[in-house]
């Protein structure tokens, strides 16, 4: 059974920006703020190396910024933190907790996403449990996260029957974005392609142009 999209209107499309590991909260906000005005669809807070206190501080600060700019904030791997800061939702990997429990905790209006790697069956199970978007990858080599699993564009097409937004992640550049969109990606998720660029604002604009092709 497909989980309904929680927001009114069409399902989201565009750039799904994921934060880099940044220990200085003020610097993190300074890096993120100018990018949100460029048309980012969602922002995910992800900082695997941070302790609970820093994660709480940064999530609260980013949530305030996202409220100001109208960009939904999604918390990586921690449904309780998402609820505590009133974020729009949570993204869960295979070791990050139970999707049904996150849905119950956050409510029907929340965005709940799941990493499905290169597995269509995992995506079916995630949606049945309450996820309302699924993410596949890595599609290309990436330095942002260690991965041994490689998704193919055909997987995006095969997942269309799930009826939920499909996110592509892993080594995505403006040059390879159009092929993924053509295969069925609704959103492309990016960390290094923006935050490691010489001109992050320019990088966001380049991704948006690629998404519109």
Which residues are annotated as catalytic?
Answer: 46, 115, 145
| Burial tier of 76 (Cβ tally within 10 Å: 0-12, 13-18, 19+) | buried
At a CB cut-off of 8 Å and minimum separation 6, what does 163 contact? 2, 127
d(CA 175, CA 211): 10
d(CA 165, CA 51): 31
3-class SS at 162?
Answer: helix
Please identify which residue in the block is written with the tokens 């209107």: 9
**Pairing state between β 166-169 and 187-190:** parallel
Please identify which residue in the block is written with the tokens 């040059």: 175
Preceding omega of 50 cis (within 30 degrees of 0): no
DSSP string, 183-208: HT-SEEEESHHHHTSSSHHHHHHHHH
């Amino acid at each position: 059974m497909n989980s309904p999209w929680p927001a009114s209107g069409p399902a989201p499309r565009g750039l799904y920006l994921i934060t880099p590991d940044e220990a200085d909260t003020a610097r993190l906000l300074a890096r993120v703020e100018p990018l949100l005005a460029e048309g980012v669809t969602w922002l995910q807070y992800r900082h695997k190396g941070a302790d609970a206190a820093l994660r709480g501080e940064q999530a609260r600060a980013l949530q305030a910024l996202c409220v100001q700019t109208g960009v939904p904030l999604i918390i990586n791997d921690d449904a309780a933190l998402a609820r505590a800061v009133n974020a729009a939702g949570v993204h869960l990997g295979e070791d990050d907790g139970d999707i049904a429990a996150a849905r119950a905790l956050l409510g029907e209006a929340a965005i709940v996403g799941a990493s499905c790697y290169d597995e269509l069956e995992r995506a079916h199970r995630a949606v049945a449990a309450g996820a309302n978007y699924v993410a596949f990858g890595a599609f290309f080599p990436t330095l942002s996260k260690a991965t041994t699993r490689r998704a193919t564009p055909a997987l995006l097409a095969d997942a269309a029957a799930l009826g939920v937004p499909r996110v592509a992640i892993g080594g995505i550049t403006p040059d390879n974005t159009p092929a993924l969109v053509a295969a069925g990606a609704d959103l492309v998720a990016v960390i290094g392609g923006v935050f490691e660029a010489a001109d992050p604002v320019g990088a966001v604009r380049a991704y948006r142009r690629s998404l519109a092709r």
